[in-house]
Amino acid sequence: MFSYIVRRLLVMVPTLLAISAIVFTIIQLPPGDYLSTMIAELQAQGETANLERIEFLRQQYGLDRTPVEQYFHWLFGLLHGDLGWSFEYNLPVAHVIGDRLVLSFLVAFTTVIFTYVVAFPIGIYSATHQYSWGDYGLTLLGFLGLATPSFLLALVMLYLANIWFGTSIGGLMDAEFIDKPMSGAKFLSVLEHLWIPVIVIGTSGTAAMIRRLRANLLDELQKQYVVTARAKGLPPHRALLKYPLRMSLNPFISDIGDLLPHLISGAAIVSVVMSLPTNGPMLLAALRSQDMYLAGSFLMIEAILIVVGVFLSDLALAALDPRIRLHGGATK
């Protein structure tokens, strides 16, 4: 087990390096940089750009160096926990995104829990009651969940909540708590607002998970050992829970690798629609204004989150399934 962990960790290093290179390339892709955009904007407004200051900034942020030098500069910064400087906010990136990251993690984490809690019983029900009305209804619902664009679901939910509860449920907390330090009341307010984005973001992931769990469990239930167990007179719920369910649990854990990117993608667009104070809207704004270090940090952190999530799920899978532990191999 120990050697497996070490090997997995070692593989992560080149992966993360490659990711950082790709992220840097992407944020460098648009022609020009933030400063040239700024100069153009100032000149358009009829103001003269303070060339000295611009030149100072250019040197300060290393924008006058070659892209390769800039990349290594950025990478070293990352390794020391320095995410760079946000031009738009004129603050270190870490200051700008700190709160948002915490809330993003909170949303992502809650959504994973939501997905599991909902998908698990429904998947089992669908598999054990195959071709019943309940199964058909839930399958249809699942397909609809997969097919509906999440931003639209968000809009409709906002509208319905406005009609039914008469409150605006956009955002992640009541207005009076914005920019206040974390407190008990603020936390409660966040919890109150959290459920709608969680449902909206989690729907399609949940639908996919239900389908996979159902298919896996159906495969298991048709196997000989289940028939044997039943023939020997094992009570039905034990014949279900003891082995087939355990076998079909693997996707729950291994799918985290698919689920996390999916959730973060979903969260990005839903939070724009619902104006959540998470990564999405800020990333969009940063991409538009070429605030490259801010955008890069978001992409990088999201990718790291996924790589670490997959690593943890691999560990959990290895702990659960001796075949993976012993062969030390990839899960897919």
Partner 1 sequence: MTDFPASGDRLAHYVRREPFDAYDGEKADPALERYYMATQWRLMWWKLKRHKLAFWSGVFLIALYLSILVSEMIAPYSLGSRHTEFIYAPPQRVHLWHEGRFVGPFVYGLDYSLDMDTLKRNYAPNPDKVQPIRFLCRGEGYDWLGLVPGNVHLMCPAEGGTLFLLGTDRLGRDMFSRLSYGTRISLTIGLIGVTLKFVLGIVLGGLAGYYGGWVDMTIQRLIEIIRSFPELPLWMALSAALPVSWSPLYIYFGITLILGLIGWTGLGRAVRSKLLSLREEDFCTAANLMGAKPKRIIFRHLIPSFMSHLIASATLAIPTMILGETALSFLGLGLRPPITSWGVLLTEAQNINVVALYPWLLLPVVPVIATVLAFNFLGDGLRDAADPYK
Q: Which residues bind partner 1 (CB under 8 A)?
A: 14-15, 18-19, 22, 26-27, 29-31, 143-144, 146-149, 151-152, 155-156, 158-159, 162, 257, 260-262, 264-266, 268-269, 272-273, 279, 283-284, 287-288, 295, 298-299, 302-303, 306-307, 310, 332
Smallest gap from residue 77 Cβ to partner 1 (A): 19
Q: E strand or H helix at 73, and its extent?
A: helix 67-79
Closer to partner 1 by CB, 111 or 239: give it: 111
Smallest gap from residue 304 Cβ to partner 1 (A): 9
Nearest CA-CA partner of 274 in 160, 198, 169: 169
| Cβ neighbour number for residue 309 with a 10 Å cutoff | 19
Smallest gap from residue 18 Cβ to partner 1 (A): 5
d(CA 9, CA 6): 5
Q: Please give, one letter per residue, the 3-state secondary structure of 154-170.
A: HHHHHHHHHHHHCCCCC
Closer to partner 1 by CB, 32 or 235: give it: 32
Closer to partner 1 by CB, 159 or 187: give it: 159
Q: Are 201 and 106 in contact (CB under 8 A)?
A: no
Q: What is the residue-wise DSSP string for 172-187? A: SS-GGGTTSPP-HHHH
Spatial CB neighbours of 268, under 8 Å, sequence gap ≥ 6: 279, 280, 283, 284
Smallest gap from residue 266 Cβ to partner 1 (A): 8
Smallest gap from residue 290 Cβ to partner 1 (A): 8
Buried/exposed 65-102: b ≥16 CB within 10 Å, e otherwise? eeeeebbeebeebbeeeebbbbbbeeeebeebbeebbe
Closer to partner 1 by CB, 13 or 79: give it: 13
Q: Residue for token digits 């249809």?
A: 140
- Collapse the DSSP code of 85 into the 3-class scheme (helix H, G, I; strand E, B; otherwise coil) and give the result: strand
Spatial CB neighbours of 245, under 8 Å, sequence gap ≥ 6: 124, 217, 220
Closer to partner 1 by CB, 173 or 269: give it: 269
Structure tokens at 80: 């020391």
Smallest gap from residue 214 Cβ to partner 1 (A): 12
Smallest gap from residue 195 Cβ to partner 1 (A): 18
Closer to partner 1 by CB, 31 or 322: give it: 31
Nearest CA-CA partner of 213 in 176, 174, 259: 259
Closer to partner 1 by CB, 217 or 229: give it: 217
Closer to partner 1 by CB, 180 or 223: give it: 223
Smallest gap from residue 182 Cβ to partner 1 (A): 26
